[in-house]
Amino acid sequence: MSGYSRVFAPGQLTLGFILPLEGYPDGPAPTMKDHAVVTRLADELGFGALWARDVPTYDPHFGDVGQVFDPFTYLGFLSANTNQIALGTGSAVMTLRHPLLLAKQAASIDRLSNGRLLLGVASGDRAVAYPAFGTGNDFESRGERFREAFAMFRASTEEDFPVGLFPRFGELGGRVDTIPKPIVRKIPTFVTGRSRQDVEWIATHSDGWFFYNVGLERVDMITQTWFDAVRRTCGEDTFKPFFEGLFLELEEDPDFPLTPIPAGLRVGRHGLLHYLEVLKKVGVNHTAFNPKPSRRPFTEILHELAEYVLPRFPSLT
């Protein structure tokens, strides 16, 4: 089964995690202790997807380095450490990775994982990283740089010996090719946030929309905006999923009331179940929990979610 078919279908909501699978509320970096064991457990328990973050440089003012390891190196490791869970990037900074190298990295993971890759991509929002990569002049115009990188990436993964001019990155003259190609010749690729694009462009070019947590008061409006844009640009019968990532602090008390925290929520499992039911009703197709603010042992959280929450929102088979 492909990663896409495990995670996305009309009218369905599945669950996954933004890596790493541990809480580290008091600092920028996780311990990564027992990470192989815990990711394998998430796979065995039946969760839908694991999403690796792309943090190419550490910015102390931002204060979070994600799973520390390069996302593609880490997903290569996870492809051998897991069997069925989808493996995603949340998200690859497309403006700072050369599209040809990104194409080779992504297609390699897709092949090694037997089609489980889901590629989230973004324009990057950390201005301090751009000068370090020699692209400081492109930060304000990173939306244009993103579109150009996106086009070169698509050509490199979906065409043999492609032809095209991409001024910021190079020229493809039909004399070289990028291998391997993905298993089905198209890697499911999802724009994250706005990436400085309008919704019509995202609906036309992306295979779905990976958004940030916006709270129940706004999520209905945003999902409807998305699905309306997909219908206008791609046709009434086209399905392109909408999904979100959020920080989750799951309390031991199952009746702990839903309490908003920055970009997420603190809640007991009963409130979480209600929250997810609302998301499903308004059309959200996948929710990826980021456990960074958690203080409970993550395996305890994982087992609680698997026992009480996952059966209501199972991965697709």
198-213 pLDDT, tens digit each: 999 999 999 999 999 9
Q: Are strands 163-166 and 170-173 parallel, antiparallel or unpaired?
A: antiparallel
Mean pLDDT confidence for 183-203: 97
Domain that holds residue 43: 3-312
Q: At 221, which CATH number? A: 3.20.20.30
Residue 17 lies in a domain: yes
Q: Which residue has the higher pLDDT, 134 or 313?
A: 313
CA-only gyration radius of the chain, Å: 19
pLDDT-above-70 percentage for the chain: 100
Mean pLDDT confidence for 181-199: 97
Each residue's pLDDT tens digit, 73-96 = 999 999 999 999 999 999 999 999
Question: What is the structure's pLDDT at 283?
Answer: 98
Q: Are strands 189-192 and 209-212 parallel, antiparallel or unpaired?
A: parallel
- d(Cα 96, Cα 122) in Å, to the nearest integer? 10
Give the residue among 88, 91, 205, 70 at the shortest CA–CA distance from 150: 205
Mean pLDDT confidence for 54-65: 93
Question: What is the structure's pLDDT at 266?
Answer: 99
Reading phi first (left if > 0) and then psi (alpha if -120 to 50, else beta), residue 188 is in: beta
C-alpha dihedral (92, 223, 277, 218), degrees to nearest 10: 100
How many structural domains compose the chain? 1
Residue 192 lies in a domain: yes
Q: At 224, is the pLDDT very low, low, confident or very high (cuts 50, 70, 90)?
A: very high
- d(Cα 317, Cα 221) in Å, to the nearest integer? 30
What is the pLDDT of the chain when averaged over all its residues?
A: 97
Each residue's pLDDT tens digit, 252-273 = 999 999 999 999 999 999 999 9
Residue 225 lies in a domain: yes
Residue 104 lies in a domain: yes
pLDDT at 138 over 90: no
Which regions of 217-305 does DSSP assign to beta strands (E)? 242-250, 259-261, 264-267, 286-290
The token pair that represents 201 in the structure block: 């462009």
pLDDT at 317 over 90: no
Q: The whole model's pTM is what?
A: 0.97
- d(Cα 124, Cα 36) in Å, to the nearest integer? 28
pLDDT at 29 over 90: yes
- d(Cα 56, Cα 216) in Å, to the nearest integer? 32
Residue 317 lies in a domain: no
Residue 242 lies in a domain: yes
